[in-house]
Amino acid sequence: MAVKKERRNFLGLALGGFTTLGGIAALGAAKRTWDPLPSVMAAGFSVIDLSVTKPNVLYVAKWRGKPIFILKKTPDMEKNPREVIVGDSRYLICIGICTHLGCIPSYFPKQHKFICACHGGQYDSNGEVTKLPPPLPLYIPPFKIDGQKVIIGESSPEFQKLKAAGLTA
């Protein structure tokens, strides 16, 4: 009898374990179904023409549903390692999303700063935080300079350098 009971317990455990395996596999399938679609992920690249930009006027382009801020700096704005140099112009190129909780800051040209309406964070014209709560400067997206054009979404040595220097996450 004892042997039988043990055997029954073993079979019960085996069945339970096997079912759990199947359940895990099914959960894997469920997880995959929640994944973003390939067409969404491969949202591609944005090409922006910098030759039309004017100093101290914020341009907003769209890349993977996110706003990209392009700000051509005026000569009196101080130099900063985060800026991107194209020809003899200096630019701030960044993702226009507050690093705190994902709102879009507005640019105030007179004060040369970005203010996030959500939680009151502020950034200067280099995208660096001047008032909390944002924990990090505005992100710089992967970019590649091609003459007077910038391709957002494609990496380049310039971008890698910024990243290696810890100037963007």
Partner 1 sequence: MAHFTKATSIHDWLNQRLAVDSVKKVLATEYWIPKNINFLWAMGMILAVTFGLLLISGIFLMMYYKPDTAFAFDSVNYTIMSQVGYGWLWRHIHAVAASVIFLIIYIHMFTGIYYGSYKKGREMIWISGMLLFVTFSGEAFSGYMLPWGQMSYWAGTVITDIFSLGSLNLDGLVQWIRGGYVPGDAFLNRFYMLHVLLLPLAVIALIVFHFATLRLPHVNNQDGEDINFKEESDKYLSGNTKSSKVIRFQFDFLSKDIVIVGFFMIFFFYLVFYHFEFAMDPVNFDPANGLKTPTHIYPEWYFLWTYEILRPFPKNPGLLAFGFAQVIFIFLPFLDRSPNVAPANRRGIFKIWFWVLIVTMVILTVLGKLPPEGIYTTYGTVVASFFILLWLSLPIVTKLEKPIGSKK
Nearer Cβ to partner 1, position 7 or 119?
119
Query: For partner 1, what does the binding mask look like between residues 8 and 27, x meaning CB under 8 A?
Result: --------------------
Nearer Cβ to partner 1, position 86 or 121?
121
Query: For partner 1, what does the binding mask look like between residues 92 and 131, x meaning CB under 8 A?
Result: --------xxxxxxx---------xxxxx-----------
Nearer Cβ to partner 1, position 11 or 118?
118
Q: Give the footprint of partner 1 on residues 36-65 (CB under 8 A).
A: 36-37, 40, 43, 60, 62, 64-65
Stretch that binds partner 1, among 12-20, 50-58, 81-89, 132-140 (CB under 8 A): 132-140
Q: Does 35 bind partner 1 (CB under 8 A)?
A: yes
Annotated active-site residue 112? The verdict is no
**Is 150 within 8 Å of 139 (Cβ atoms)?**
no
Min dist. Cβ of residue 32 to partner 1 (A):
10
Catalytic residue among 7, 119, 149, 161: 119
Q: What are 112's two structure tokens?
A: 């040369």
Strand, coil or helix: what is 125? coil
Print burial letters for 111-124: b (CB count within 10 Å at least 16), e (below 16).
Answer: ebbbbbeeeebbbb
Hey, which bits of 30-160 come out as E strands? 46-49, 58-63, 66-72, 84-86, 89-95, 106-108, 113-115, 122-124, 129-131, 143-146, 149-152
Whole-angstrom CA distances from 84 to 1, 96, 142, 158 are 81, 16, 12, 8
Q: One-letter amino acid identity for 136?
A: L
Residues that bind partner 1 (CB under 8 A): 31, 34-37, 40, 43, 60, 62, 64-67, 100-106, 116-120, 132-135, 169
Which residues are identified as catalytic? Answer: 119
